[in-house]
């Protein structure tokens, strides 16, 4: 007979069993124990004893899990969670950040007295709601008030109806949601009862998080329903007294979490959170403000019943919970949108480790840090299996308070974001929206609090099941994200979910966050048929035949007409042909900015060759490499540069346009250049340490010429307008000016003296009535300042070469709008023939690189070359007629960067990151590798590193851009900065020589073994030299003494950052307390956060002292004279 049957029989006969000294003890009513029952008990004695012992152990365990009332001798401590909120409140000086608002509608007859009595009873019942927080001796303690004012405020809106009523309620709700609690004096629950009519009321609840959590709201509603039901029917409070209060939990937590317990709990998290990224890398719609705000909004989306069912089936098959599946999808989504493999988010756990705290209102909630590793491109099934283990381990270690973890790890703090994580995920059960009360129906009027979200995280995802269907609520900070971005993010989440569970064996890089068949920006047709499909030289000669006297080029007082230009080009082309230039021949050009430059460029192409710009100021090594790499045999050079090539294996052909007789034949029909033949080879910085030559074809040039002509014509610039030719020949932007000769434009070649003097340049642009200036952001910034000072207008602008800052973008836009001109931001790598996209710079747009030129395409792809959802960050690929042939004499690199895609055709891998904006434009988000654009020059940082590593004394090096300067970080046994600089100057162009060299012990590595360049960027340049700054004022001396005592450090410089040398928020509060006690200066904690050095803090303290003196009017001396204004 099984144990359960015996227990049931004992229950029927009133028999009670126990174990005494190893024997089965039986108690039964006199005469009530049958012989049959005695025999059964004898036969099953062993198993009954084992069952009773097991049951007793379970009872003991349950009893042990109960929180015991504490005997607190002295101040009541705050729990770790409360302490964090108190610190934040101190920093913010009162904030609604942790207000917990809720609204209810009551339909029917309300007993107002019963309602008020119910709220007061709940507050009386839960000490935490009538607890205030008092600071004494730089610590905070809980003080439970015995007496409190009613928390209910009555509001009469019976005079309002319809929209007027709702508008007033919404306004009141918003004001209440954003009204801070005074933690030192307020009751932590406030209620507003709004009477709309005799049968319609609205209730606004607001609790501070320091006294409550999500579970507590459920407790509050449940108790309200039970107590109000009783009171409204004239009955007493039906609820039993509470065994314990929140103060008992806070005391237990502080006593428990010490010594070995703390070390065991925190050890796991120290390992798990090592090298945690400070913030996520999701692209933001607006820059993160210095001081984070907490206003937000939310959108709600419902998953289809079919997809909900498919998810449930997938979870069963994989042996995972719905939480695990949704959190993994969320992490994968963040990874796809941010192009990161290390994704961190938080999730709440109830934190009610004791059975008997479930009926309590209080802040028990704990935050878990969830870290998902997306590296290695696993299949989705492999990812979810791995993530399952990570999640299970995290939940096994959930008892360490998040706030104790933050205090232990002491991550670098910033007022701009939350520490540890800024993303949040929660899967919750959703109770029904309607509750029954005597004579009342209670419901949730969501529309009242819509748009009044107070949010603590950048993006929060709350998932819940309603009537068998998954519902997602996406909450977000409006200071960072637009609604449309979050809607796209949510849509991408659902697409990713659907595709992942349907294709679990696929690599995660292949699982798309794009709905199949949905309209995407890259689907837009961009084909354009141009009337003129002639090559550039043919077009110029055609125009010259028709307009021989039109000016082609002006340089200072010197000019040349189209007829003269074409004749001299024809003449010099013949000379080149005689020298051996044939179809496809690379020919070097080494000339000043001059008429010779233009004649040489066109003549080489006219002869069938491809011109190769050579910088006269470049080191000999670089010139030799380019000549060797292209195998060119001829260099066209002005007389003063011929000698530079005497020791190099090539022939020079001197050029002087004044010596050209200009008798060449001007015949467009005789020019026979294939669209696929090379026009020029332009060398750019290379990642191997050697520059690489981009080979551009005539068909690429033709499309650029036609596209730019069309863009300008659409903006009102056409005919024989004047173009200021700014870019040097070695810079690909110079080519777009060259192409304009196809349409009879007058080029004005700017000499170097003009390009380097903004004032002279502005005068030239104005005096010569220039219509278009091609320029870089750096130069336009300088010229724009001159123009504003002199109240002059800049011409229409074509700006490219590097990213434009938001501030400069707005300045350019405002100036262009004021003077009825346009400004275009053009983007494109040299490999895509100068420009691949364009954007109008307008006051109502953010910096972006726009949309593709005609016959060009742009794609945002992940590492597996799969398209990403609009809004996600990925690498920019360019396709279409602008894509060059490849790298000259470098098939391996060409195959690597010029990719043949089955989806998109032949595309170029730019190495640039971007995302699609809502209007179909692309936002540029930086480089994916370590190639940068600086002052218009594209620089491969690895090329500089390769040169540095040629020095025998250097073992490792990294070059980065910081504060618009190239910084070299070097490690080695013999670091000689002068020698390194000399070496770079000898082997690299001037713009690639680093401005600063910093010696480090070693180049830090990430956990993946790669150079940790972010860590290098955190090295403050001024901290490289150990310059100790001693105190120079009495206030600095006082503060130094306080810091030394609290931080336990003797040597503290006046410019040391408090939080970088061991300080944290709690110590900051002690600093503030010490200032108050020792210096009689009241310093809010936020002042220390904003001024974290002794030098800066001393200035603020001295300012406070001055304020006190001036503001002490009430203590005027007897001899003072008083006047009232």
Instruction: List pLDDT tens digits, range 347-356.
Output: 999 888 888 8
Domains of the chain: 3-65 (1.10.10), 80-250 (3.30.559.10), 279-510 (3.30.559.30), 930-1023 (3.30.300.30), 1034-1112 (1.10.1200.10)
* Cβ atoms of residues 149 and 171 within 8 Å: no
- The pLDDT confidence band at residue 1007, using thresholds 50, 70 and 90, is very low
* Gap between the Cα atoms of 1092 and 234, Å rounded: 60
Res 113: pLDDT: 95
- The pLDDT confidence band at residue 1124, using thresholds 50, 70 and 90, is low
**DSSP class of residue 641?**
G
* pLDDT higher than threshold 90 for residue 518: no
Dump the DSSP string for 357-406: GTT--S---EEEEEEEE-TT--BHHHHHHHHHHHHHHHHHTTTS-HHHHH
* pLDDT higher than threshold 80 for residue 605: yes
Dump the DSSP string for 223-284: HHHHHHHHHHTT----SPPPS--HHHHHHHHHHHSSHHHHHHHHHHHHHHTTT--SS--PPP
Res 2: pLDDT: 77
Q: What is the mean pLDDT of residues 663-671?
A: 82
Q: Angle 1009-1015-1020 (CA atoms, 0-180°, nearest 5)? A: 155
Strands (E), 972-1087: 996-999
Res 62: pLDDT: 45
* Gap between the Cα atoms of 550 and 554, Å rounded: 11
- The pLDDT confidence band at residue 444, using thresholds 50, 70 and 90, is confident
* Cβ atoms of residues 839 and 825 within 8 Å: yes
Other Cβ atoms less than 10 A from the Cβ of 445: the count is 16
Res 1008: pLDDT: 44
* Gap between the Cα atoms of 627 and 587, Å rounded: 9
The dihedrals phi and psi of 964, each to the nearest 5 degrees, come to 60, 30
| pLDDT > 70: percent of the chain | 93
* Gap between the Cα atoms of 101 and 99, Å rounded: 6
Which tokens go with 1092? 């974290």
Query: What confidence tens digit (pLDDT) does each residue in 68-94 have?
Result: 998 888 899 999 999 989 988 887 777
Query: What confidence tens digit (pLDDT) does each residue in 404-417 have?
Result: 898 888 886 777 88
Q: What is the mean pLDDT of residues 909-936?
A: 83
Res 1009: pLDDT: 46
Tally the C-alpha atoms within 13 A of residue 574's C-alpha that lie toward its C-beta. Answer: 13
* Cβ atoms of residues 661 and 599 within 8 Å: no
* pLDDT higher than threshold 80 for residue 688: no
* pLDDT higher than threshold 70 for residue 119: yes
For residue 153, give the nearest of 110, 191, 198 by alpha carbon. Answer: 191
Q: What is the mean pLDDT of residues 476-496?
A: 95
C-alpha 490 chain-centroid distance: 17
For residue 638, give the nearest of 587, 690, 594 by alpha carbon. Answer: 594
Res 784: pLDDT: 95
Res 225: pLDDT: 92
Dump the DSSP string for 318-343: HT--HHHHHHHHHHHHHHHHHT-SEE
* Cβ atoms of residues 1074 and 1042 within 8 Å: yes
Q: What is the mean pLDDT of residues 325-333?
A: 98
* Gap between the Cα atoms of 60 and 804, Å rounded: 69
Average pLDDT of the chain is 89
* Cβ atoms of residues 693 and 681 within 8 Å: yes
- The pLDDT confidence band at residue 1113, using thresholds 50, 70 and 90, is low
pTM higher than 0.75: yes
Res 1023: pLDDT: 43
* Gap between the Cα atoms of 189 and 362, Å rounded: 11
Q: What is the mean pLDDT of residues 1098-1124?
A: 67
* Cβ atoms of residues 655 and 596 within 8 Å: yes
* Gap between the Cα atoms of 978 and 248, Å rounded: 67
* pLDDT higher than threshold 50 for residue 781: yes
Q: Which of 253-262, 656-665, 710-719 has the highest mean pLDDT?
A: 710-719
Other Cβ atoms less than 10 A from the Cβ of 13: the count is 13
* Gap between the Cα atoms of 882 and 855, Å rounded: 8
The end-to-end CA distance of the chain, in Å, is 99
- The pLDDT confidence band at residue 935, using thresholds 50, 70 and 90, is low
CB neighbours of 868 closer than 8 A, spacing ≥ 6?
336, 337, 513, 514, 860, 861, 862, 874, 915
Res 1122: pLDDT: 44
Helix 80-92, helix 402-409: angle, nearest 10? 70
* Cβ atoms of residues 689 and 947 within 8 Å: yes
Which tokens go with 1051? 């040597």
* pLDDT higher than threshold 60 for residue 825: yes
Between residues 138 and 247, which one has the greater pLDDT?
247
Return the SS3 of 535: coil
Which tokens go with 771? 């219509």
Q: Which of 47-51, 66-70, 82-86, 125-129 has the highest mean pLDDT?
A: 125-129
Where on the phi/psi map is residue 800: left (φ > 0), alpha (ψ -120 to 50), or beta?
beta
Query: What confidence tens digit (pLDDT) does each residue in 827-845 have?
Result: 999 999 999 999 999 999 9
- The pLDDT confidence band at residue 429, using thresholds 50, 70 and 90, is low
Which tokens go with 649? 């294996």
Return the SS3 of 1047: helix
Res 1025: pLDDT: 44
The dihedrals phi and psi of 326, each to the nearest 5 degrees, come to -70, -40
Burial class (CB in 10 A: 0-12, 13-18, 19+), 526: middle
Res 448: pLDDT: 67
Return the SS3 of 880: strand
* Gap between the Cα atoms of 466 and 403, Å rounded: 33
Q: What is the mean pLDDT of residues 686-714?
A: 92
For residue 287, give the nearest of 457, 417, 455 by alpha carbon. Answer: 417
* Cβ atoms of residues 904 and 520 within 8 Å: no
* Gap between the Cα atoms of 834 and 734, Å rounded: 9
The dihedrals phi and psi of 23, each to the nearest 5 degrees, come to -105, 155
* Gap between the Cα atoms of 601 and 591, Å rounded: 10
* Cβ atoms of residues 954 and 944 within 8 Å: no
- The pLDDT confidence band at residue 10, using thresholds 50, 70 and 90, is confident
- The pLDDT confidence band at residue 1024, using thresholds 50, 70 and 90, is very low
Return the SS3 of 611: strand
Q: Are strands 131-136 and 99-108 parallel, antiparallel or unpaired?
A: unpaired
Which range (8-22, 379-393, 614-628) has the least confidence? Answer: 8-22
- The pLDDT confidence band at residue 938, using thresholds 50, 70 and 90, is low
Other Cβ atoms less than 10 A from the Cβ of 50: the count is 12
User: Is the dihedral angle over the CA atoms 47, 48, 49, 51 positive or is it negative?
Assistant: positive
Q: What is the mean pLDDT of residues 542-562?
A: 95
**DSSP class of residue 433?**
S
* Cβ atoms of residues 973 and 953 within 8 Å: yes
C-alpha 243 chain-centroid distance: 47
Res 37: pLDDT: 84
C-alpha 620 chain-centroid distance: 43
Q: Are strands 651-654 and 678-684 parallel, antiparallel or unpaired?
A: unpaired
Strand 956-962's sheet: what is its strand order?
A: 956-962, 965-971, 996-999
Number of H helices, E strands in the chain: 33, 43
* Gap between the Cα atoms of 1011 and 355, Å rounded: 49
3-state SS string for 647-699: CCCCEEEECCHHHCCCCCCCCHHHCCCCCCCEEEEEEECCCCCCCEEEEEEHH
* pLDDT higher than threshold 60 for residue 888: yes
CB neighbours of 303 closer than 8 A, spacing ≥ 6?
311, 469, 470, 471, 472, 494, 497
Which tokens go with 81? 């969670």
Res 990: pLDDT: 67
Res 812: pLDDT: 97
């Amino acid at each position: 007979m099984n144990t359960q049957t015996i227990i049931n029989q004992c229950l029927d006969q009133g028999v009670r069993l126990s174990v005494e000294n190893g024997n089965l003890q039986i108690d039964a009513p006199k005469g009530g124990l049958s012989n049959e029952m005695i025999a059964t008990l004898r036969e099953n004695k062993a198993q009954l004893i084992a069952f009773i012992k097991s049951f007793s152990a379970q009872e003991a365990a349950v009893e042990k899990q109960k929180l015991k009332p504490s005997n607190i001798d002295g101040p009541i401590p705050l729990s770790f969670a409360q302490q964090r909120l108190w610190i934040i409140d101190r920093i913010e000086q009162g904030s609604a950040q942790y207000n917990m608002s809720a609204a209810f509608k009551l339909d029917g007859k309300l007993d107002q007295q019963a309602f008020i009595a119910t709220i007061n009873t709940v507050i009386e019942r839960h000490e935490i709601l009538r607890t205030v927080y008092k600071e004494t001796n730089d610590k905070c303690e809980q003080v439970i008030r015995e007496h409190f004012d009613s928390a209910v405020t009555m509001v009469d809106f019976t005079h309002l109806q319809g929209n007027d009523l709702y508008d007033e309620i919404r306004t009141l709700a918003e004001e209440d949601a954003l009204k801070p609690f005074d933690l030192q004096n307020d009751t932590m629950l406030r209620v507003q009862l709004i009477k709309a009519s005799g049968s319609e009321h609205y209730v606004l609840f607001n609790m501070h998080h320091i006294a409550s959590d999500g579970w507590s709201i459920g407790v509050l509603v449940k108790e309200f329903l039970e107590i109000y039901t009783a009171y409204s029917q004239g009955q007493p409070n039906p609820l039993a007294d509470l065994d314990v209060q929140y103060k008992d939990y806070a005391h237990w937590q502080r006593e428990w979490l010490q010594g070995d317990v703390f070390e065991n709990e925190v050890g796991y998290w120290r390992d798990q959170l090592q090298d945690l990224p400070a913030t996520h890398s999701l692209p933001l719609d607006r820059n993160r403000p210095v001081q984070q705000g907490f206003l937000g909004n939310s959108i709600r989306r419902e998953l289809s019943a079919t997809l909900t069912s498919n998810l449930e089936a997938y979870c069963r098959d994989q042996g995972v919970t719905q939480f695990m599946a949704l959190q993994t999808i969320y992490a994968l989504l963040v990874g796809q949108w941010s192009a990161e493999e290390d994704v961190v988010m938080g999730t709440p756990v109830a934190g009610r480790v004791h059975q008997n705290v479930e009926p309590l209102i209080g802040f028990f909630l704990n935050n878990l840090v969830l870290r998902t590793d997306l590296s290695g491109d696993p299949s989705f099934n492999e990812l979810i299996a791995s993530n399952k283990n990570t999640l299970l381990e995290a939940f096994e270690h959930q008892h360490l308070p998040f706030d104790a973890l933050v205090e232990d790890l002491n991550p670098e703090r910033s007022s701009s974001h939350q520490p540890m994580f800024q993303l949040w995920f929660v899967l919750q059960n959703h109770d029904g929206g309607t509750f029954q009360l005597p004579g009342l129906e209670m419901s949730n009027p969501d529309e009242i609090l819509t748009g009044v979200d107070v949010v603590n995280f950048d993006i929060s995802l709350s998932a819940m099941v309603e009537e068998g269907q998954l519902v997602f609520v996406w909450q977000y900070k409006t200071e960072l994200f637009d609604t449309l971005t979050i809607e796209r993010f949510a849509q991408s989440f659902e697409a990713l979910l659907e595709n992942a569970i349907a294709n679990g064996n696929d690599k995660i890089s292949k699982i798309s966050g794009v709905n199949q068949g949905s309209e995407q920006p890259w689907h837009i047709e961009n084909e354009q048929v141009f009337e003129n499909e002639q090559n550039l030289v043919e077009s110029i000669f055609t125009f010259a035949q028709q307009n021989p006297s039109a000016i082609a080029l002006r340089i200072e007082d010197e000019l040349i007409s189209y007829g003269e230009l074409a004749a001299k080009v024809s003449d010099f082309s013949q000379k080149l042909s005689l020298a051996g230039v044939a179809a496809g021949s690379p020919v070097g050009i080494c000339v000043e900015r001059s008429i010779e430059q233009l004649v040489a460029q066109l003549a080489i192409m006219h002869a069938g060759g491809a011109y190769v710009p050579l910088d006269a100021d470049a080191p000999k090594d670089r010139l030799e490499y380019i000549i060797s790499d292209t195998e060119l045999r001829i260099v066209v050079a002005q007389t003063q540069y011929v000698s530079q090539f005497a020791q190099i294996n090539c022939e020079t052909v001197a050029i002087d346009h004044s010596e050209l007789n200009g008798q060449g034949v001007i015949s467009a029909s005789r020019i026979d250049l294939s669209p696929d033949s090379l026009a020029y080879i332009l060398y750019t910085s290379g990642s191997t340490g050697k520059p690489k030559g981009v080979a551009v074809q005539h068909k690429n040039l033709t499309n650029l010429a036609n596209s730019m002509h069309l863009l300008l014509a659409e903006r009102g610039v056409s005919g024989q307008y004047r173009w200021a030719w700014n870019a040097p020949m070695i810079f690909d932007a110079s080519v777009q000016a060259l192409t304009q000769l196809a349409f009879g434009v007058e080029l004005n070649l700017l000499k170097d003296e003009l390009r380097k003097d903004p004032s002279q340049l502005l005068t030239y642009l104005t005096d010569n009535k220039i219509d278009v200036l091609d320029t870089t952001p750096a130069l336009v910034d300088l010229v724009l300042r001159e123009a504003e000072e002199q109240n002059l207008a800049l011409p229409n602008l074509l700006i490219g070469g590097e990213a434009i800052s938001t501030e400069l973008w707005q300045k350019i836009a405002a100036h262009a709008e004021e003077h009825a001109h346009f400004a275009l931001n053009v983007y494109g790598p040299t490999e895509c023939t100068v420009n691949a996209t364009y954007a109008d710079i307008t006051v109502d747009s953010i910096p972006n690189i726009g949309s593709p030129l005609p016959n060009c395409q742009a794609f945002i792809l992940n590492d597996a070359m799969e398209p990403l959802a609009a809004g996600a960050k990925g690498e920019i690929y360019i396709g279409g007629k602008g894509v060059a042939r490849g790298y000259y004499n470098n098939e391996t690199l060409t195959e690597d960067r010029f990719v043949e895609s089955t989806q998109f055709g032949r595309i170029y891998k730019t190495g640039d990151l971007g995302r699609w904006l809502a209007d179909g434009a692309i936002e540029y988000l930086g480089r994916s590798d370590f190639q940068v654009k600086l002052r218009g020059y594209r620089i491969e940082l690895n090329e500089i590193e390769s040169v540095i590593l040629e020095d025998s004394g250097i073992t490792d090096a990294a070059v980065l851009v910081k504060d618009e300067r190239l910084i070299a970080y070097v490690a080695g046994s013999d670091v000689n900065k002068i020698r390194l600089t000399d070496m770079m100057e000898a082997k690299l162009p001037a713009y690639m020589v680093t401005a600063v060299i910093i010696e480090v012990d070693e180049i830090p590595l990430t956990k993946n073994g790669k150079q940790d360049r972010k860590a290098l960027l955190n090295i403050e340049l001024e901290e490289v030299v150990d310059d100790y700054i001693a105190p120079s004022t009495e206030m600095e001396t006082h503060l130094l003494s306080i810091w030394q005592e609290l931080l336990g450090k003797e040597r503290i410089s006046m410019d040391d950052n408090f939080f970088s040398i061991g300080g944290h928020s709690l110590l900051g509060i002690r600093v503030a307390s010490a200032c108050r006690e020792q210096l009689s200066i009241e310093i809010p904690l936020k002042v220390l956060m904003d001024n974290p050095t002794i030098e800066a803090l001393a200035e603020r303290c001295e300012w406070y002292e001055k304020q006190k003196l001036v503001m002490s009017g009430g203590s005027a001396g007897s001899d003072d004279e008083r006047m009232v204004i």
